[in-house]
Amino acid sequence: MNRTALFLVGFFLVSLVLAGACGEKKESGVTAKEVKKEAKEAVETALAYTQQQKEEYQKQLEAKIEEYDRKLEELKAKAEKMEKKTKAEVQEELDDLKQKREAADKKLGEMKSASGKAWEDLKSGMDSAMGDLAKAYDKIISRFK
């Protein structure tokens, strides 16, 4: 959930609580107790939605990392068939790709244990790590074309 949506949900909840805190019964028959109950349900729904988004994002990342693992193995096999000098250059790039893959996996591990605001902050770092991994892969794959 983005920050704007979280802000709006929070603003709505605070408004409901403040309206209910007056302790007055409105013409519509809404009581402070009902407002508090609805606010609690809204917060629980927002948290559940955020958790669902986090889990879906993590599954997508795990699938991408597994795909890069397969690609890395294919590239290693192709590199074995190259000339010695070219093979050494490609090996350096393969090592770089492997490091970026490990960095992405580490970020993913951090995300799994994070919650709330920390998760949102780690998401941008994870996107950056996956971007670095994609660039390293694109760089090395150009040697095989």
pLDDT for the residue 19 = 56
Tell me how far apart the alpha carbons of residues 4 and 129 are, in angstroms, rounded to a whole number: 25
Say if residues 13 and 40 touch (Cβ distance below 8 Å): no
14, pLDDT greater than 70: no
Q: What is the DSSP letter of 27?
A: T
Residue 81: pLDDT over 60 = yes
pLDDT digits (tens, 9 = 90+) for 16-55: 555 555 554 445 678 888 888 888 898 888 888 878 888 8
Residue 121 CA to residue 104 CA, distance in Å, equals: 15
Work out the pLDDT band at 139, boundaries 50, 70, 90: confident
Q: Which of 5-14, 24-33, 69-78 shows the lowest per-residue confidence on average (mean pLDDT)? A: 5-14
**What average pLDDT score do residues 109-127 get?**
81
Radius of gyration of the chain (CA): 24
Judged against a pLDDT cut of 90, whether residue 78 lies above it is answered with no
- Does this model's pTM top 0.95? no
pLDDT score recorded for residue 25: 47
Residues in Cβ contact with 79 at an 8 Å cutoff, skipping those fewer than 6 apart? 87, 90, 91, 94
